[in-house]
Amino acid sequence: MSQTARRGADHIPSRSDDGHAPSDQSLRIHRLVQTEINAGFADDVRRGLSAETKRLFPKYFYDALGSLLFDAICLLPEYYLTRAENEILERDADEIVASVHDGGPVTLLEMGSGSAIKTRLVIEALLKRQTRLLYVPVDISATALETSARVLLQSYPSLTVEAYASDYDTALRYMHDSAWREGRVLALFLGSNIGNFEEAEARAFLRSLRGVLRAGDALLLGADLKKDPAVLEAAYDDALGVTAAFNLNLLARINRELDADFDLRTFRHIASYDAQGGRVEAFIESDRPQRVNIGKLGLEVTFAAGERIHTENSHKYDLAQLSQLATGAGFTRARTWFDHAEQFSSNLFVAVEQADLIKP
Q: What CATH number does residue 162 fall under?
A: 3.40.50.150
Task: Report pLDDT for 203.
Answer: 96
Q: Percent of the chain, pLDDT > 90?
A: 74
49 and 130 inside one domain: no
The answer to whether residue 348 is domain-embedded is yes
89 and 186 inside one domain: yes
341 and 206 inside one domain: yes
340 and 271 inside one domain: no
Q: How far apart are CA 287 and CA 300, in angstroms?
A: 18
The answer to whether residue 67 is domain-embedded is no
Phi, psi of 190 (to 5 degrees): -100, 180
The overall average pLDDT reported for the chain is: 89
User: Which DSSP category does 140 fall into?
Assistant: S
Per-residue model confidence as pLDDT tens digits over 222-270: 999 999 999 999 999 999 999 999 999 999 999 999 999 999 999 999 9
What 3-state class would DSSP assign to 241? coil
Q: How far apart are CA 318 and CA 202, in angstroms?
A: 15
Task: Report pLDDT for 23.
Answer: 47
Q: How far apart are CA 164 and CA 261, in angstroms?
A: 37
342 and 217 inside one domain: yes
177 and 249 inside one domain: no
pTM of the model: 0.88
Structural domain count of the chain: 2
**Which residue type sits at 157?**
P
Helical ranges in the chain per DSSP H: 41-50, 64-73, 81-100, 119-127, 142-155, 168-175, 199-210, 229-235, 242-258, 319-328
Q: Which of 299, 315, 331 is the last residue of a domain?
A: 315
The number of helices, as runs of H, and strands, as runs of E, in the chain is 10, 13
204 and 240 inside one domain: no
185 and 245 inside one domain: no
Q: How far apart are CA 44 and CA 50, in angstroms?
A: 10
- Across-strand partners of 28? 162
The answer to whether residue 72 is domain-embedded is no
The answer to whether residue 221 is domain-embedded is yes
207 and 107 inside one domain: yes
The answer to whether residue 19 is domain-embedded is no
CA quadruple 204, 205, 206, 211: dihedral sign: positive
Per-residue model confidence as pLDDT tens digits over 308-360: 999 999 999 999 999 999 999 999 999 999 999 999 999 999 999 864 454 44
Per-residue model confidence as pLDDT tens digits over 39-90: 689 999 999 999 999 999 998 998 889 989 998 999 999 999 999 999 999 9
The answer to whether residue 329 is domain-embedded is yes
170 and 160 inside one domain: yes
The answer to whether residue 288 is domain-embedded is yes
What 3-state class would DSSP assign to 358? coil
What is the span of the domain harbouring residue 158?
Answer: 27-31+77-225+317-356
Residues near 186 by beta carbon (within 8 Å), at least 6 away in sequence: 97, 100, 106, 107, 108, 109, 122, 126, 217, 218, 219, 220
82 and 115 inside one domain: yes
Per-residue model confidence as pLDDT tens digits over 148-167: 999 999 999 999 999 998 88
Q: How far apart are CA 142 and CA 136, in angstroms?
A: 13
**Which residue type sits at 55?**
R
152 and 139 inside one domain: yes
The answer to whether residue 258 is domain-embedded is yes
Q: How far apart are CA 280 and CA 151, in angstroms?
A: 34
